Structure formats: structure tokens, C-alpha cells
Amino acid sequence: MIAGVSTASLYPLQTEDALRTLGELGVRNVEIFVNDISETGGDILKEIQSVVNSYGLNVVSAHPFSSPMETLFLFSDYKRRVDTIIDMYKRYFEFMQAVGARIFVLHGAAKDARCTEPMYVERFLRLCDIAAPYGAVIAQENVHYCKSGKIEFLKMMKKECGERARFVLDIKQAIRAGYDPLDIADAVGDSVIHLHISDNREGADCVPVGKGTYDFEKLIRRLHSQGFDGAALLELYRGGYGDYSELKESSDILRKMIEKIQ
């Protein structure tokens, strides 16, 4: 297991600047939140690659800015829209290959979307097949406003998708959906390959590690016992913390916790 930070935590810094900031802080394991499709190629990609190489960053995962589009495109009945987003996501997969990332974070369809479970599974597996030649793995994140916010839906995916069912466990999203993250760990923990970390306390559900009351050690121990050996990456909203140094401090707390458990 490793600890790190998502560039999403530094929004709205441009992606290459967010990476540079994390590198200067001494963070080495990162998730890249791609904020615009232009970042997946050309001079911007070259700049991102340069920053990654200069600081020796380990890019674990990529998260697309287009997640809100997935309901109307990927999980649509309209074939042209499905084809459009698949072409877009191929560009993400090419980007991931270029920066060394393996895990692609999927939000999926909104909870009120007119998308049946069989259709959802078919589209998820199709995307898995398309991502595979690029060395990318699709991981479904639990998102409170999506179908994936419900534990029963995650269980359905695990059953129907078999070994290709992979999940991102997001602490704040679990809490917003009314679950203890341990509930998700118990339901699909042996298929969790990635963690989005944030602390919480009364009145604030997305703060730096150590600024809240959540028992991270208990969750990480539970997942570790189920075989988890992925990354625990801090993902905060910019209004949830003060100085950038808090990102490094949170990452260090997680790293020490992981070292203690392993």
C-alpha cells in the first residue's frame, strides 16, 4: 500500500501546475484529475510528462472531468452519444499510457438515470475491454448521487462483472450516502483497488487527515486483511483546507499508518 494526493485537491490550478506543486511538496504518489480534454495530448501532455519525470512522480490513476457526462453519453440509449464518449475515453487511456497510470476512475450513471442494471453492466464491461489494450483498469467509484452510491448496486456489479469488477472506495462519498465506509469494505472489499481519502467531523465531511475523527487505521486494516495493496490518495475540495502543506502532512500521516499496518 502507498499514500499520496490527487491533483483534484488543488483545483483550479492547471493540472501541470498542480503536479508541480505536489512534487515541490515532496508528494510522490499522485492521481491526475484531467480537467480538460486538451490535457490528453500535444504540448500540454508533454509539459505534464516533463513534470512527472522531473519530480519522479508515480501516477497511480486518472480521473476524468467528464464524469457528469457519463449518464447522458456512456449509459444512453443513443448509440452516437455512446460512440462519442468512447472515442473521448480512448484519449484518456492514451494519456494514462503516456504518464504511466493504471486505474481509471468511473462515476457512472446518476441514480435516477433510465439505465437498467443489465445495460449498466454491459457498458461497464465494454469500457473495460476498450481500456485493456492501453494497460488501463476501469474502477467504479461509490458516488452518492450515482447508482454506485448504493451498496446493493455495488454488490450487483461485483456479482455480474466477476473478476473485472473493481472499485474505488471514497470515504466522503460513502458518508454522504449514509454509510460507514467499513460497510462498503465488508460488501466489496476484496475488489477495492483504490482509495479516495478525506477526514470528517461534525459539520465538515471533507477535511485533511487528522482534522476530523474518522478511524482510518480501522478501515485500512480491514481492507488490508482482504488483500488490498493499492493507493490511499487524499482527495479534498479546495475550500476544505488552508495551506498546500496540509496535503503533504495528510499524506505523511497516511504513509505512517500504512507502514504500521504492513
- Average pLDDT of the chain, as a whole number: 97
* All cell numbers assigned to 162: 466477476
Q: Which amino acid would we find at residue 260?
A: K
In angstroms, the CA 70 to CA 246 distance is: 32
Helix axes 117-131, 151-161, angle to 10 degrees: 60
- What pLDDT digit, counting tens, does each position of 184-202 carry? 999 999 999 999 999 999 9
* All cell numbers assigned to 41: 495530448
Query: By C-alpha distance, which of 131, 147, 31, 148 is closest to 86?
Result: 131
Whether the pLDDT of residue 137 is over 90: the answer is yes
pTM above 0.85?
A: yes
* CATH 3.20.20.150 describes domain 2-261: yes
Q: What is the pLDDT of residue 246?
A: 97
